[in-house]
Chains A and B, each alone.
Chain A
Amino acid sequence: MNGLMAFSNELAAAVEHAGRATVGVNGRRRFGSTGVHWRSGLIVTADHTVEVDEDVTVTTPDGRTLAATVAGRDPGIDVAILRVDAGDLPVADIATEPARVGHIVLAVGRGPRASWGVVSAIGDGQRGRTERADLLNLDLTLYPGFSGGPLVDARGRVVGVTTSGPARHFQVAIPAATVSRVLDELGRRGRIPRAYLGVGTQSVRLSETLRQRLGTDQRAAVIVVDVQPDSPASAAGLVIGDVIVALGGARIADPGDLRAALRPEQVGETVTVSIVRGGEPRDVRLTVGERSRRA
Chain B
Amino acid sequence: MMETTRDFVALADVVRRITVEVIGNDTALGSGVSWPRGHVITNAHVVRHARVAVRSVDGRQLQARLLVRDAEADLALLSLDAADLPTATVADAARVRIGSLVVAVGHPLGMRGALSAGIVHAIAPVVRGGAPWIHADVRLAPGNSGGPLADVSGAIVGVNAMIVGGLALAVPIARVIDFARSAGVAVP
Contact = CB atoms under 8 A, between A and B. Distances in A.
A binds B: yes
B10 A15 contact: no
Nearest to A144: B165
Contacts of B11: 1, 4
20 contacts: A1-B7, A1-B10, A1-B11, A1-B152, A4-B152, A8-B152, A11-B99, A11-B101, A11-B119, A15-B99, A19-B98, A111-B124, A114-B120, A115-B119, A116-B99, A116-B119, A140-B137, A141-B137, A143-B165, A143-B167
A14 B101 CA distance: 12
Nearest to A115: B137
A5 B103 CA distance: 13
A16 B98 contact: yes
A278 B3 CA distance: 63
Contact of A111 (B101, B122, B137): B122
A4 B7 contact: yes
Contacts of B137: 114-116, 140-141
A113 B121 CA distance: 5
Nearest to B118: A116
B121 A143 contact: yes
Given A12-B100, A143-B166, A3 B7 contact: yes
A12 B165 CA distance: 22
A14 B122 CA distance: 14
A113 B98 contact: yes
Q: What interface size band does chain A fall in?
A: 20 to 34
Interface in A215-256: none
Interface in A1-49: 1, 3-5, 7-9, 11-16, 19
Contacts, number: 78
A12 B8 CA distance: 18
A11 to B, nearest CB: 5
B82 to A, nearest CB: 29
A115 B121 contact: yes
A202 to B, nearest CB: 37
B99 A114 contact: yes
B116 interface: no
Contact of B100 (A3, A8, A112): A8
Contacts of A9: 100
Interface of A: 1, 3-5, 7-9, 11-16, 19, 106, 111-116, 140-141, 143-144
Interface in B147-168: 151-154, 165-167
B135 interface: yes
A5 B153 contact: yes
Interface of B: 3-4, 7-8, 10-11, 97-101, 118-122, 124, 135, 137, 151-154, 165-167
A114 B121 contact: yes
A7 B99 CA distance: 10
Nearest to B96: A12
Contact of B4 (A4, A13, A143): A4
Contacts of A13: 99
A14 B99 contact: yes
A13 B4 CA distance: 18
Contacts of A7: 4, 101, 152
A4 B7 CA distance: 6
A277 to B, nearest CB: 51
Contacts of B7: 1, 3-4
B2 to A, nearest CB: 10
Given A1-B154, A106-B119, 16 more contacts: A4-B152, A7-B101, A11-B101, A11-B119, A13-B99, A15-B97, A111-B98, A111-B124, A113-B98, A114-B121, A115-B119, A115-B121, A116-B99, A116-B119, A140-B137, A144-B165
B79 to A, nearest CB: 32
A19 B97 CA distance: 12
A16 B10 contact: no
Residue among B7, B97, B99 facing the most chain A CB atoms (10 A cut-off): B99
A3 B101 CA distance: 12
Contacts of B154: 1
Contact of A16 (B4, B97, B167): B97
A154 to B, nearest CB: 10
Q: Which 7 A-B pairs have the closest CB atoms?
A: A15-B99, A12-B97, A8-B101, A12-B99, A4-B7, A115-B137, A113-B122
Residue among A9, A13, A116 facing the most chain B CB atoms (10 A cut-off): A116
Contacts of B166: 141, 143
Contacts of B101: 4, 7-8, 11
